[in-house]
Copies of this chain bind each other. A is one copy, B any other.
Amino acid sequence: MSEKPFLRALRGTVSKAPPVWLMRQAGRYLPEYRALRAKARDFLSFCLTPELAAEATLQPIRRFGFDAAILFADILIVPHALGQQVGFREGEGPVLGALGNLQPAEAQRRVAPVWETVRRVAPALPKEVALIGFAGAPWTVATYMVEGGSSRDFARVKQQAFAKPAEFAVLIDAIIEATVTYLSGQVEAGAEALQLFDSWAGVLPETEFRRWVIEPTRRIVEAVKTRYPGVPIIGFPRGAGLLYEAYALESGVDAVSLDPAVPLVWARDRLQTRMPVQGNLDPMLLVVGGEAMEQAVRRIREELGRGPLVFNLGHGILPETPPEHVAALVELVRR
């Protein structure tokens, strides 16, 4: 198992060419994904139908031969698990129902189809390819649960976190518990590494960042690693900026995923000396392709390639990305 290049990198091994996978590698930029997506009634059913979700997970592996597959699911599976209504409107993003009483007792039953997806994917992967499970981190999941969807200013969730921290902590605790259950089941089903996505980590001042980003992450990492000490966990505090270092050192994660704004030399000196890093090509450079992309890839490899690195984007693939640019990227990274 530890022979897979992706897992080797997460244990600190430096190789000539870094392993590569891309966030949202299973997605709308692929025609075969769009065809598959058309078979499901809505996005949530798509995620919760193991046959379809397993196929979506495998599609980019077949096409590009990435070093890791990431479970096809969504960070809003946890709100769904807790009994909140979760919908997705085409082109608009998620729409969540009113945040009523949480139903943690239902969580296992509600996430079981995702575990089944992992169970189907694991044996279907080429032997060099690792399988990554994931969940949203509590702060980010809470933003959707409180705002009822995407947000520009995070007014409601910030007001709650700032003005009623004790009440907000109850929600965060429920998310932590459901997330530990959810991730543990993914490991039991065959996930070999985990990633926590904290997409909105960047909108909090330091005090609140420590309380609502670092501390909940630390608790999840601790709980999961107590049960599965061998499973590496990657943290992705997108937009954390000057708080990236505190997150990396204090949350307990094994590796940290860098957004495109993290300067490479800084990451090399301050983070990569302590743990493997993952990242961080700007997804728009993958859309653009050509010389601009090549230069940026060379720079990442030059600055971060002499330490443990998983090559990735700094954020998810954009729907307008030409698949041939992805193929060119993989070739470039492996060259």
A interface list, Cβ under 8 A from B? 152-155, 158-159, 162-163, 202-207, 209, 239-244, 246, 260-264, 266, 280, 282, 284-285, 287-288, 290, 292, 296, 299, 314, 318, 320
Contacts and interface: CB of A to CB of B under 8 A. Distances in A.
Nearest to A291: B163
Interface hub of A202, A264, A284 (most chain B Cβ within 10 A):
A284
A263 B209 CA distance: 10
A282 B158 contact: yes
A282 B205 contact: yes
Contacts of A159: 284, 287-288
A159 B203 CA distance: 25
Instruction: Tell me what chain A mostly uses at the interface: helix, strand, loop, or mixed.
Output: helix
A205 B266 CA distance: 13
A314 B158 CA distance: 14
Given A155-B320, A204-B261, 4 more contacts: A155-B284, A158-B284, A202-B202, A203-B261
Given A207-B299, A261-B202, A290 B163 contact: yes
A153 B283 CA distance: 10
B290 A263 contact: no
Contact of A242 (B152, B158, B266): B266
Contact of A239 (B202, B244, B280, B314): B202
Contacts of A314: 205
Given A242-B262, A242-B266, A284-B162, A318 B153 contact: yes
B162 A205 contact: no
Nearest to A287: B159
13 contacts: A153-B318, A158-B282, A159-B287, A159-B288, A202-B202, A202-B261, A204-B260, A204-B261, A206-B261, A207-B299, A242-B244, A242-B261, A243-B261
Nearest to A289: B163
A146 to B, nearest CB: 13
Given A158-B282, A284-B162, A296 B241 contact: no
Given A155-B318, A209-B261, A320-B155, A285 B162 contact: yes
Nearest to A262: B242
Contacts of A280: 205
Contacts of A204: 260-261
A264 B162 contact: no
